[in-house]
Amino acid sequence: MHLEVNQLHKQFNTRRGSLTALKNINLHIEEGEFVCAVGASGSGKSTLLRLIAGLDTPTAGEILVDGMQVTGPGPDRGMVFQSYTLYPWMSVAENVEFGLKLQGVPKQRRRQQTAYYLEVVGLSGFAKALPKELSGGMKQRVAIARALASQPKILLMDEPFGALDVQTKEAMQQFLLEIWRSTNTTVFMITHDVEEAIFLSQRIYVLSSRPGTVKQELQIQLPSESHPQIKRHPVFQQYKDKVMRLLCEDGHKVSSSLEDLPLAI
Ligand SMILES: Nc1ncnc2c1ncn2[C@@H]1O[C@H](COP(=O)(O)OP(=O)(O)OP(=O)(O)O)[C@@H](O)[C@H]1O
């Protein structure tokens, strides 16, 4: 799997005129990598992910998955959103199975795959439960199982833990890393949470605001495998200072133009 974004540009026509959300974005993600894009509110993170998912079209530039241009959504890219997107009338297992059904996967294989991924996310005991019976973290685990069940080439995550409380968020980050390691999935995640990006990623793209551009690409090498205590390690703090500095530099520029202040970070 190789994802490549070349000279990506996105402009929206709004009632107040045209707005450049993304400008000259170049990035790549290699097989098995966990990469995050971090940026302040309005830096075009969701727009970038939606374009890669094929839910919207670029104004200019191209997105290639294994050399093939993205022209719309496809099973090669699994999505997990911040808001809970499970069908409320379907059981947990039916939700996980649904994408496979749409792809025409035979029933027995669908069942096997659903059972396997529910096991992976630790929710085998909730196969028959309805989404309303689950906590926020459990719902996101189902969403991850659903995305993984289609065995995408890359998992695209749009602030998947943004709606969770701090403790659940930390548990989910740890959980996601374990899944990433055990399934060799390639992950591209966007977040405005700097600690989350450093904790999870092997590489980070720091985005500037309005228009969103890649300000810096950072390789992350923590002294040991990520575990929650690593967030207190001096090396972790150095990365955090560096990313925050990059975002704040950008914030001065943004605040002087009376747009969003960097306080959203
Ligand atoms: N469909 C649209 N029509 C017009 N403008 C849009 C549209 N979608 C996004 N924008 C604008 O593009 C810019 C980037 O938005 P986007 O949602 O991608 O940012 P973001 O970094 O994900 O922000 P947040 O962290 O607040 O979700 C914003 O100024 C937003 O108002």
Q: Which amino acid is at 231?
A: K
Where is the domain boundary, 151, 168, 196? 151
Distance CA 85, CA 72 (A): 19
**How high is the pLDDT of residue 143?**
94
Question: 201-205: which pairs have CB atoms within 8 A and are 24 or more residues apart?
Answer: 201/34, 201/35, 201/36, 202/33, 202/34, 202/35, 203/33, 203/35, 203/36, 204/35, 204/36, 204/37, 204/38, 204/243, 205/27, 205/35, 205/36, 205/37, 205/38
Within a 10 A sphere around the Cβ of 177, how many other Cβ atoms? 17
- Residue to mutate (ligand 1; options 9, 47, 56, 57; most atoms within 8 A of CB): 47
CATH of residue 161:
3.40.50.300
- Protein residue with its CA nearest to atom 6 in ligand 1: 12
Distance CA 211, CA 47 (A): 11
Report yes or no on 208 lying in a domain: yes
Residues having CB within 6 Å of any atom of ligand 1? 12, 14, 19, 21, 39, 41-47, 192
Same domain (yes/no): 44, 94 = no
**How high is the pLDDT of residue 251?**
65
What ipTM does this complex have? 0.97
Report yes or no on 205 lying in a domain: yes
Same domain (yes/no): 138, 41 = no
Instruction: Please report, to the nearest 10 degrees, the dihedral formed by the alpha carbons of residues 81, 85, 91, 97 taken in order.
Output: -60
- Protein residue with its CA nearest to atom 29 in ligand 1: 42
Distance CA 204, CA 191 (A): 10
Residue 104, SS3? coil
Phi, psi of 32 (to 5 degrees): 80, 0
* CB-CB contact of 141 with 123 (8 Å): yes
Same domain (yes/no): 235, 111 = no
Same domain (yes/no): 158, 121 = no
In total, how many domains does the chain have?
2
Per the structure, the complete domain to which residue 120 belongs is given by: 90-151
* CB-CB contact of 83 with 163 (8 Å): yes
Same domain (yes/no): 45, 126 = no
Instruction: State pTM to two decimals.
Output: 0.91
CA of 185 relative to ligand 1 center, distance in Å: 28
Same domain (yes/no): 59, 160 = yes
Report yes or no on 144 lying in a domain: yes
Q: What stretches in the chain show pLDDT beneath 70?
A: 251-265
Distance CA 254, CA 212 (A): 11
- Protein residue with its CA nearest to atom 28 in ligand 1: 42
Where is the domain boundary, 133, 151, 169? 151
